[in-house]
């Protein structure tokens, strides 16, 4: 009975978010990627909001790039090619494939005009509603949306995102090691507060992988050897990458949902979208490392110490 109620409610919510747009799309993305916080039916129904929602017309994108990034120069002065169709669009920005003069393939992330005040106003409304309805749900969603509000404020600064991306890309290959994941780098001189030009990642989001394989005529059965092998490789790459970020750097990607994890043609893994990052201090990292070691050796500990 609850499954039917949730399924119907999820369809209604998806339609409502599509009409309201703005920050409500961001909420839909959170629901889609956090089935630990919301009923699974809602996460499945809203999954389409992770990758592509309400793309802006290319005329708007061109104007933003030329004004915000190029100082009034036309696109063709810097870009040999700039695809009008976006690779993906979300509540804050959308991304386009482009090629610089000289041949470097890039992805250009363009912030929606006037999006910051609108989204911050939307989240204020949702916070007020979740505060009034505290106690009606098994989870305190006021806390969830308060944290989301804090995180959202960091996502409007693309210069900070470029710095985060470059810092973690450098950390992945420190000491000459083979990077466990690919992290694109920003293009020097082609980043502004609202436009970010970075290396193009020629892959497929994890959220779209099964559909892309089916489109190419390949069907991977759930639980098959191929799926398990890929899953182990994915887990290994992400575990090693986040170990570097957390334990070595104390600075990590804080939004690794399936739309931000890319699978490359050679089955290697890439991470994109560094708008949300977090820092942790040395003492906490040390305590966390000790906890992990204790868990790994827990089968050797007396039961009373577990």
Positions annotated as catalytic residues are 255
What gap in Å lies between CA 259 and CA 228, rounded to an integer? Answer: 20
What gap in Å lies between CA 86 and CA 35, rounded to an integer? Answer: 28
């Amino acid at each position: 009975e609850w499954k039917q109620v949730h399924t119907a409610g999820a369809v209604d919510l998806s339609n409502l978010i599509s009409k309201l747009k703005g920050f409500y799309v961001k909420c839909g993305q959170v629901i889609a990627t956090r089935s630990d916080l919301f009923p699974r039916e809602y996460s499945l129904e809203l999954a389409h909001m992770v990758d592509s929602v309400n793309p802006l017309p290319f005329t708007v994108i061109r104007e933003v790039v030329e004004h915000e990034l190029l100082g009034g120069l036309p696109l063709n002065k810097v870009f040999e090619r700039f695809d009008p169709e976006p690779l993906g669009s979300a509540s804050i920005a959308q991304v386009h494939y482009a090629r610089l003069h000289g041949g470097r393939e890039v992805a250009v992330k363009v912030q929606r005009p006037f999006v910051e005040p609108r989204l911050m106003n939307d989240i204020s409304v949702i916070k007020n509603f979740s505060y009034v309805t505290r106690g009606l749900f098994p989870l305190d969603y006021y806390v969830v949306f308060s944290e989301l509000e804090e995180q959202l404020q960091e996502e409007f600064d693309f210069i900070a995102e470029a710095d985060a991306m470059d810092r973690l890309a450098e950390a992945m290959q420190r000491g000459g090691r083979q990077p466990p994941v690919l992290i694109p780098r920003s293009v020097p001189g082609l980043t502004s507060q609202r436009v970010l030009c970075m290396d193009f990642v020629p892959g497929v989001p994890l959220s779209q992988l099964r559909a892309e394989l089916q489109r190419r005529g390949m069907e991977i059965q759930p639980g098959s050897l191929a799926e398990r092998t890929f899953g182990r490789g994915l887990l290994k790459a992400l575990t090693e990458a986040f170990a570097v970020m957390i334990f070595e750097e104390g600075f990590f990607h804080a939004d690794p949902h399936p739309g931000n994890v890319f699978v490359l043609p050679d089955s290697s893994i890439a991470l994109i979208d560094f708008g949300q990052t977090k820092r942790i201090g040395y003492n906490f990292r040390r305590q966390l490392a000790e906890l992990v070691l204790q868990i790994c050796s827990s089968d050797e500990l007396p039961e009373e110490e577990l």
